Structures are given as C-alpha cells and as structure tokens.
C-alpha cells in the first residue's frame, strides 16, 4: 500500500508541475497578446522607429516571399480546381464544380497554407531571434537605453505577421478566382456575369467576415506565440532550440484549432 501511495504522490506532483508549467506558458502567451494588441491599437505607440520596424517586418514576411509563394499557391489552386472540376464532371455535377472548388480553396485551404508557410518561414525565425535576444540580455540592454522593446521589437512583428497573412491570403485568393474562371470558361470574358453571380452566392457577408477573422487570428498566432515563447526562454543558450521546438509545436496546434473551430462554426 505504501509503495502505491508513494507512486501516486510522485505521479500527482509531476503531473501537477507539468499542468502548472503549461498554465504559466499560456498565461504568458495571452498576457503578451493583450499587451501587443493594446499597443497596436494605441496611436501614441507609433513613432518613427516603430513605423520603420513595421515596414521591415512586412517586407521580410510578405514582400520577400510574394513571388514564389504566389506561384506555389497558383499551382496548388489550379491542381485543386482541376481535380474538383474533373471529379464533378464524372458524377454529372459540373454546374457545382466552381462553387465547390471555391468553397474549399478560398475560405479554407489558402488561409491555412498561407499561415503554415509564414509559420515555417518567419515564426521559427522570430522565436529563435527573441529567445537569443533574451538569452544574450539584449532586451534588458535596449530597455536600459530607454527603448521600449514591446513597441520597438515585438509589436511591429505582430503587425507584420497579421498584415502579411491577410495580404498573402487576399492575393492568392484573387489568383485562385482568376484560375478558376480560366479553368472553367477559358480565356474569354463573356461568362463573367455567370461567374460573379456564383461567387456572390458562395462568398456572402458571413463567409467573408469569417475568412477575415480567421486570417487575423492566424496572423496573431504566427507572431504572438513565437514571441511569447522566446520571451519565456530561460537565460541559458542550450534552451534556445527547445524554446523554438515548443513554440512551433504550440503554433501548429493553435493553427489547427483555429481551422477546426472555424469549420465547426460554419458547418455544425
């Protein structure tokens, strides 16, 4: 009986410590999200330095990858459209092909692929950079020089992430619409009224608001989680890769949670 009690106590202590650690991490993420959002919505938080860093972040996160990512998204969209169109034709459902392909691509696939791409390319870099800044004391050094690191370093990354995910999704969605038109009607313009009528039916106000809210949530996730995880890194160099690993795993689950929640809200 005593060994069992000892095992049980040990088990509960360890599980309790793990639960407390997870609670502290999520509290840190939500606290940072609150601070960053408050700073973002405060006009006084913007000055010359902040604006410059915001522009740099948008350049690095969106502009640098615009061409390759747009080409990839175009290829992916075209393949998905062709699959849906040919499958629909086999089942005699050609009239629904456009609607089906757009319902899958624009509100679901493209925002998620964009968020995953930005996460792989920028979030891992942000997590590593913030973790190293913390480990090397650069954050304290900037604060000591009178520079508010939330406004100067972190808030611009959040704005850059949100703007990048929203902008890249918008661009790739417009491209997907154009490709869908070409796939179905070919290179001519006189089917445009039919096309716009179907698109108007697919993208009603609720869907559009849902897509934009989801894109903003994705944009916040791909920046807030890596920054918060980097800020929570203990000041030991060997913890940097562990911080990035934890941040990326959390980010993946949050992105999936947002996607599943949006699907559940839409279809359940």
In eight-state DSSP terms, residue 238 is T
Going by C-alpha positions, the residue among 107, 114, 99, 266 that lies closest to residue 195 is 99
Contact between 136 and 235 (Cβ < 8 Å) = no
Q: Does 52 bind another protein (CB under 8 A)?
A: yes
> Judged by CB under 8 A, which of 17, 22, 49, 260 binds another protein?
49
Q: How many residues does the chain have?
A: 268
CA angle 122, 124, 130 (to 5 degrees): 95
Q: Which residues contact 233 (CB under 8 A, 6 or more apart)?
A: 130, 131, 134, 135, 239, 240, 243
Neighbour count for residue 251 (Cβ, 10 Å)? 24
Please, which of residues 137-196 interact with another protein by CB under 8 A?
137-138, 140-142, 144-148, 151-152
Contact region for another protein (CB under 8 A) — 2-10, 46-54, 160-168, 232-240? 46-54
> Judged by CB under 8 A, which of 45, 66, 100, 132 binds another protein?
132
Q: Does 58 bind another protein (CB under 8 A)?
A: no
**To the nearest whole angstrom, how small is the minimum distance from the Cβ of residue 151 to another protein?**
8
Closer to another protein by Cβ: residue 24 or 136: 136
Closer to another protein by Cβ: residue 152 or 216: 152
Closer to another protein by Cβ: residue 24 or 235: 235
CA angle 67, 63, 153 (to 5 degrees): 150
**To the nearest whole angstrom, how small is the minimum distance from the Cβ of residue 16 to another protein?**
36
Q: Does 129 bind another protein (CB under 8 A)?
A: yes
Closer to another protein by Cβ: residue 77 or 223: 223
Going by C-alpha positions, the residue among 257, 1, 225, 3 that lies closest to residue 123 is 225
Q: Does 235 bind another protein (CB under 8 A)?
A: no
Q: Which residues bind another protein (CB under 8 A)?
A: 47-50, 52, 129, 132-133, 136-138, 140-142, 144-148, 151-152
């Amino acid at each position: 009986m005593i060994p069992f009690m000892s095992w049980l106590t040990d088990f509960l202590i360890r599980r309790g410590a793990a639960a407390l650690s997870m609670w502290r991490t999520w509290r840190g993420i939500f606290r940072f999200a609150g601070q960053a959002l408050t700073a973002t919505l405060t006009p006084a938080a913007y000055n010359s330095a902040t604006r410059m860093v915001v522009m740099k972040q948008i350049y690095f996160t969106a502009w640098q990858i615009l061409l390759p990512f747009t080409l990839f998204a175009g290829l992916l969209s075209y393949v998905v459209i062709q699959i849906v169109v040919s499958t629909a034709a086999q089942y005699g459902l050609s009239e629904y092909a456009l609607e089906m392909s757009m319902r899958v691509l624009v509100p679901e696939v493209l925002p998620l692929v964009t968020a995953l791409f930005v996460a792989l390319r920028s979030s891992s870099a942000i997590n590593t950079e913030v973790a190293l800044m913390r480990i090397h004391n650069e954050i304290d050094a900037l604060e000591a020089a009178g520079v508010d690191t939330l406004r100067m370093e972190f808030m611009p990354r959040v704005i850059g992430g949100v703007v990048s995910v929203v902008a890249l999704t918008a661009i790739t969605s417009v491209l997907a619409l154009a490709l869908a038109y070409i796939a179905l009607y070919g290179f001519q313009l006189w089917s445009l009224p039919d096309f716009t009528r179907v698109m108007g039916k697919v993208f009603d106000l609720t869907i559009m608001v849902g897509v934009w809210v989801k894109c903003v949530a994705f944009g916040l996730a791909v920046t807030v989680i890596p920054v918060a995880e980097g800020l929570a890194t203990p000041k030991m160099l060997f913890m940097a890769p562990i911080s990035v690993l934890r941040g990326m795993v959390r980010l993946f689950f949050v992105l999936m949670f947002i996607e599943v929640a949006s699907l559940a809200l839409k279809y359940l």
